[in-house]
Structure 1
Amino acid sequence: MRLSGPVPSRITVHRVLIRHGLVDPTPRRRRREDYRRWERGRPMELWQMDIVGGIQLADGGEAKVVTGVDDHSRFCVIAAVVRRATGRAVCLAFAQALQQFGVPEEVLTDNGKQFTARFGRGGGEVMFDRICRENGITHRLTKPRSPTTTGKVERFHQTLQRELLDDVEVWADPEEAQAAIDVFRREYNSERPHQSLGMAFPADRFTAQPAEEQIPLRPALATTIPAPRKPLLVPPPASPSAAGSATVAAAPLAIGDDVGLAVEVTRLVPASGNLTVCRQQFWLSPTRSGLPVTLWADTTVVHLLIDGVRLKTVPSRLTPTHLRQLLADDGQPAGPPPITTGTLQAGAPIEVERLVNATGLISLAGRQHPVGYHFAGQRVTVRLDRGLMQITADGVLLRSLPNPLTPAEAASIRDARPAGPPPTPNPEPVRVERRVSCRGALVIAGQRIHVGIAHAGATLTVEAADTTFRVHDGDQLLTEVPRTTVKPIARFKVRKPEPARPTAPAAKPQSPVI
């Protein structure tokens, strides 16, 4: 059937469907009344912070303003002009406000990299998060692309832009802009009524934290920069002419600050478990997510510790510039290292820590070496002593294998250290699993052990001692035979059973033809 006349438009069809109740009308944009207004019940309960630009300088640059507003009173607590809105500049402005007004209970910010590492490449904890954590401040973040959540500080930006910044096209320097913003801030807090407050002044509703309730701020690194390290003074080498003299009188020689520079810094393990510091990554596992880890770092080695317990030691890729940057941010001069790596001597035993991967392999000198599936996921210490490679954990010998590395390859391991005393043998026998064949036998290290056809297809546990093999079915000892093989045990778990082959469906019986 063909319709005559013009075809109705899409919006007409939509209105007809709404009129008959066939679809629910949904506005394309949120209405003003759909937004839910909220306000904290008292001052110093929540601060909203943000960063705004728009200050053009005479030298062609653009300065920014770090702002903060108390949620209850709309009192401006922060209005600091900075040339670059770096994390340190934001933290300095934040710390100054904490010292002036006290510590709020909560701080609300967006997801900028100055405030959080939520969407950063390395994750972890930024300096702003650390200041909040160490001063007991709850740091709350908005949803991505939700500026209305921090609407009060955004509204302050609009007033600042309209009543001050738009009147001046170019500022001579940040100091001039800061002086003008300070005057505007005093008028905003004390002389300008606010419609959202019933035409009251923000200063009438704001009350700073009492001085007797204020606690010393932590960390002090937010407001101070560590003093430069004193140069190390060492005597110069003696001249050949004075080799035979009893004493050598010479002036001390100053060495640069980079010699012996070591830094300790604390970071939170991100949810991924992969911590990044100055573009060097440290794998710590998602199971340690949220834990504070301390890094002892210099230009040669990095030690990672949690609660004073060393987790691992890795080669350092940090330069003296990186160390000075960490020291200026939130690091501190490091004390003695957790372990002494010492100087490696050619041919001497060395040891190194490694994490066994899911397939039972460890990485040494750029190659993968098998140590056993049953050690998967375990952190072990590898001791290389001439032709022997010993796998230890907590000083107990787990396994001995032939050394797969040449002396040159062993010397190329950067995170190796001189080995301690030889490990003690493991008092417990090695336990392996074997599946009994259809003829009632199993094979371990090339030795065939008959346990009986009654156990065909069962998975049994074998205790491998130095002189015997003990076969168990659960808690029941089935047999104990002398160990006649000298081959090492290469497999500790049973192989996965082969998938059952599908059987052809049985043919349906045919009815006889009558």
Structure 2
Amino acid sequence: MVVDVQQLAEYRYRAVREVLGGSPIGEVAARYGTSRQTLHTWRRVVRAGGHARSAGPLPAPAEQPYAPIAEVEAEICELRRRHPRWGAGRIAHELVGRGLESAPSRATVHRVLSRNGLVRAREQQHPRKYRRWQREAPMHLWHMDLVGGVPLADGRECKMATGIDDHSRFVVIASVVAVPSARAVCSAFTAAMRRYGVPFEVLTDNGKQFTGRHQRPQPVEVLFERICRENGITQRLTKPRSPTTTGMIERFHRTLREEFLDHVVPFESLAAAQEAIDGWVHAYNH
């Protein structure tokens, strides 16, 4: 990336002028993506009679944080406006593949977003204590569920069978189903096992697609349970009225809605919906 020396000098000069004008040095440093120590250095040079508009007398210490030039800052802001759910880490990752010799760090991107009013402070929430657990390796446990909200042009709203790996958070199932029947769910489950392998355990809620133990007048073995038994998979079910047990996949559903489903128009067909969702899942996983 070629940095315009005159532009960089003007950038430093404006920062020093703000400090000399009475603005708090910490606030100015945050707005200009630099450190307090570097800003002190620039100010000392100006007070000592250095040429404020010359790049030479205002050297940046080696530990100065990366200060993006105007073009990079504009690109950061544009990515955020096009993708409101992307955070600083995702934007920094996207910029790495755009041919920059020195891409900005996550911290620098966050400073740029804050400086341009593109970061909303989160409301304070009352802390809730949950016992958190996670399997030590991939394929030990899959979480599975159903989620709605896939609109079709003919007026139908389809559902998706979803599955996520407990350790890696890798999405293993994202299959659109016209009818959320036991057979459709099992078809998505077996297709995922053919692609990724057989997990040791699977965790679901007590929906009729997943278990028949609550059937009346007596429990029965449904297709999903038979598949688990025949493949040596330990099936785990959530306790009634314990929504936090499926919190991992519910959190994935929230991201799916906020980043994708809330912004789509009705799909022409089931196949078109599946193709679009496959593209989003690929970006999510990788």
Aligned counterpart for 1:152 among listed residues 242, 245, 248:
248
Structure 1 residue 144: deviation in Å?
Answer: 1.3
Aligned counterpart for 2:169 among listed residues 56, 74, 92:
74
Aligned counterpart for 2:214 among listed residues 91, 99, 119:
119
Structure 1 residue 58: deviation in Å?
Answer: 1.6
Structure 1 residue 172: deviation in Å?
Answer: 1.7
Measured in 2, the distance between the counterparts of 1:147 and 1:58 equals 33
1:72-471 → structure 2 map (5 Å cutoff): 72-121=167-216, 122-190=218-286
Structure 1 residue 174: deviation in Å?
Answer: 1.3
Measured in 2, the distance between the counterparts of 1:148 and 1:56 equals 28
Q: Match of 2:242, as an amino acid?
A: S
Q: Percent identity?
A: 60
Counterpart of 1:41 in structure 2 is 136
Gap regions ≥5 residues in structure 2: 1-124
| Deviations, residues 328-348 of structure 1 (Å, cap 9, x unaligned) | xxxxxxxxxxxxxxxxxxxxx
Q: Which runs of 4+ in 1 moved over 6 A?
A: none
Structure 1 residue 56: deviation in Å?
Answer: 1.8
Measured in 1, the distance between the counterparts of 2:271 and 2:196 equals 23
Measured in 2, the distance between the counterparts of 1:111 and 1:181 equals 26
Measured in 1, the distance between the counterparts of 2:152 and 2:222 equals 29
Structure 1 residue 145: deviation in Å?
Answer: 2.4
Q: Match of 1:84, as an amino acid?
A: V
| Deviations, residues 250-301 of structure 1 (Å, cap 9, x unaligned) | xxxxxxxxxxxxxxxxxxxxxxxxxxxxxxxxxxxxxxxxxxxxxxxxxxxx
Structure 1 residue 53: deviation in Å?
Answer: 0.3
Counterpart of 1:325 in structure 2 is none
Measured in 2, the distance between the counterparts of 1:161 and 1:91 equals 23
Counterpart of 2:154 in structure 1 is 59
Measured in 2, the distance between the counterparts of 1:120 and 1:98 equals 27
Measured in 1, the distance between the counterparts of 2:234 and 2:148 equals 26
Measured in 1, the distance between the counterparts of 2:211 and 2:127 equals 30
Q: Aligned pair in 2 of structure 1 residues 153, 188: CA closer, same or farther (>3 Å)?
A: same
Measured in 2, the distance between the counterparts of 1:53 and 1:170 equals 13
Give the secondary-structure state (helix, strand or coil) at the position aligned to 2:268. Answer: coil
Measured in 2, the distance between the counterparts of 1:144 and 1:169 equals 35
Structure 1 residue 149: deviation in Å?
Answer: 0.5
Q: Match of 2:130, as an amino acid?
A: Y
Measured in 2, the distance between the counterparts of 1:186 and 1:58 equals 24
How many equivalent residue pairs? 161
| Deviations, residues 96-136 of structure 1 (Å, cap 9, x unaligned) | 01111111100000000000012222421000000000000
Q: Match of 2:156, as an amino acid?
A: G
Question: RMSD over aligned Cα, in angstroms?
Answer: 1.4
Q: Match of 1:97, as an amino acid?
A: A
| Deviations, residues 306-357 of structure 1 (Å, cap 9, x unaligned) | xxxxxxxxxxxxxxxxxxxxxxxxxxxxxxxxxxxxxxxxxxxxxxxxxxxx
Measured in 1, the distance between the counterparts of 2:265 and 2:242 equals 30
Measured in 2, the distance between the counterparts of 1:60 and 1:33 equals 40
Measured in 2, the distance between the counterparts of 1:147 and 1:178 equals 28
Measured in 2, the distance between the counterparts of 1:170 and 1:150 equals 28
Q: Match of 1:63, as an amino acid?
A: C
Gap regions ≥5 residues in structure 1: 1-29, 191-514
Give the secondary-structure state (helix, strand or coil) at the position aligned to 1:112. Answer: coil
Give the secondary-structure state (helix, strand or coil) at the position aligned to 2:187. Answer: helix
| Deviations, residues 125-164 of structure 1 (Å, cap 9, x unaligned) | 0000000000000000001122211111111101111111
Measured in 2, the distance between the counterparts of 1:123 and 1:137 equals 20
Structure 1 residue 31: deviation in Å?
Answer: 5.8
Measured in 2, the distance between the counterparts of 1:133 and 1:97 equals 17
Measured in 1, the distance between the counterparts of 2:208 and 2:169 equals 25
Give the secondary-structure state (helix, strand or coil) at the position aligned to 2:150. Answer: strand
Could you say which structure has the greater relative contact order, defined with CA pairs below 8 angstroms and 6 or more residues apart? 2
Give the secondary-structure state (helix, strand or coil) at the position aligned to 1:54. Answer: strand
Give the secondary-structure state (helix, strand or coil) at the position aligned to 1:48. Answer: strand
Which has the larger Rg?
1
